[in-house]
Amino acid sequence: MDKLSSLVGRHSFNARIFYNGAFCDTNQFTENGVSGQLHVVREGPVDFIHDDGEVITVTEPSLLFYPRGASHRLHVHPGHTANLLCAHIQFQDEMSNPLSRVLPNCLVMPLSEIAGLRSTLDLLFSEASQAEPGREVILDRLCDVLLIQVIRREFDSGRLSLGLLAGLSDRQLSLALTAIHERPHEPWSLQSLAKVACMSRAAFTERFRDVMGMPPGEYLTRWRIGVGSRLLRQGMPVKQVSSRAGYTSPSTFTRAFTTMMGASPREWLKQAAG
């Protein structure tokens, strides 16, 4: 069995469709720590409004997936009607499931860009348009298949890491990874991370490298720079970013950022804006 099949199989999920058809209203989804949502927009326009004010306006057939059920509002403007197929996605062990944790908060895919999923989508839409016995069960299973294909596409594209999924699946490494992810500002050392993982320093270093494909220190740096990049894009000044990302001074953060990103924070922001 290939590695992705093994990991996905160990951390299973199931879909339950709760809406299928025309929609011309507003619906609020609140994070409950239990399930995520899958929205397949067959016809728009539809606004997906997030708590931080971000609005994703879908004007073409698209798939939107909220693995951890981040709070969002689905809104169709007056005078318009959308065609939607929506499902709740419940992961085994709920939001502590490594598969749900490794995926982004919101994944958006125009259907025109996912030709590899066309046969599954065609079958899904065909079944959704019928009123045959057993339709609900078939639709739920097809959503399961669709999500596995979406996850595979994300891994194949390099946007997701099999190493991270494997690390979060490891009982001891997951403790250290969660600590890094949730508290990047703390002054982590190899010794303190090994202690969090309840391992000796040598054993932790060896297992981390074997599973994640890089040393703990390199992963920590990459995660902190990723945190810094997101905060910079939000307009936070370098002084605050450096502290939030775990660096002792703005100059230390700037050096690390420049080494990894190939440009200083200011230059990088200019390039991103251009």
How does residue 36 score in pLDDT terms, banded at 50, 70 and 90? very high
Question: What is the pLDDT averaged over residues 44-61?
Answer: 92
Residue 52: the pLDDT is 87
Report percent pLDDT > 70 for the chain.
96
The rounded distance, in Å, linking the Cα atoms of 192 and 189 is 5
125, two tokens: 């839409």
Q: Across-strand partners of 28? A: 73
Which pLDDT tens digit goes with each residue over 179-225? 998 899 999 999 999 999 999 999 999 999 999 989 999 999 999 99
Which pLDDT tens digit goes with each residue over 230-258? 889 888 999 999 999 999 999 999 999 99
79-90 burial by CB neighbour count: b if 16+ within 10 A, else e? Answer: eeebbbbbbbbb
Residue 59: the pLDDT is 93
The rounded distance, in Å, linking the Cα atoms of 225 and 233 is 12
Question: What is the pLDDT averaged over residues 133-150?
Answer: 87
198, two tokens: 């309840």
Number of Cα atoms under 13 Å in the Cβ half of residue 265: 26
| Matching residue, tokens 């057939």 | 61
Question: What is the pLDDT averaged over residues 253-265?
Answer: 93
How does residue 11 score in pLDDT terms, banded at 50, 70 and 90? low
CATH superfamily entry for domain 170-273: Homeodomain-like (1.10.10.60)
Residue 39: the pLDDT is 95
Question: What is the pLDDT averaged over residues 146-159?
Answer: 82
Strand order of the β-sheet with 62-66 is 13-23, 82-91, 35-43, 62-66, 107-110
Residue 145 CA: distances (Å) to CA of 66, 138, 166, 171, 184: 16, 11, 21, 27, 35
Closest CA to 31 of 72, 65, 89, 64: 72
| Matching residue, tokens 């949502």 | 37
For residue 96, what is the DSSP state?
G
Domain spans of the chain, in order of start? 3-160, 170-273
The rounded distance, in Å, linking the Cα atoms of 202 and 204 is 5
Residue 105: the pLDDT is 86
92, two tokens: 């085994």
Residue 92: the pLDDT is 77
pTM equals 0.68
Round the average pLDDT of the chain to a whole number and report it: 88
- pLDDT > 70? residue 259: yes
How does residue 10 score in pLDDT terms, banded at 50, 70 and 90? low
The CATH class for the domain spanning 3-160 reads mainly beta
Q: What separation, in Å, do the N-terminal and C-terminal C-alpha atoms of the chain show?
A: 45
Question: What is the pLDDT averaged over residues 9-23?
Answer: 84
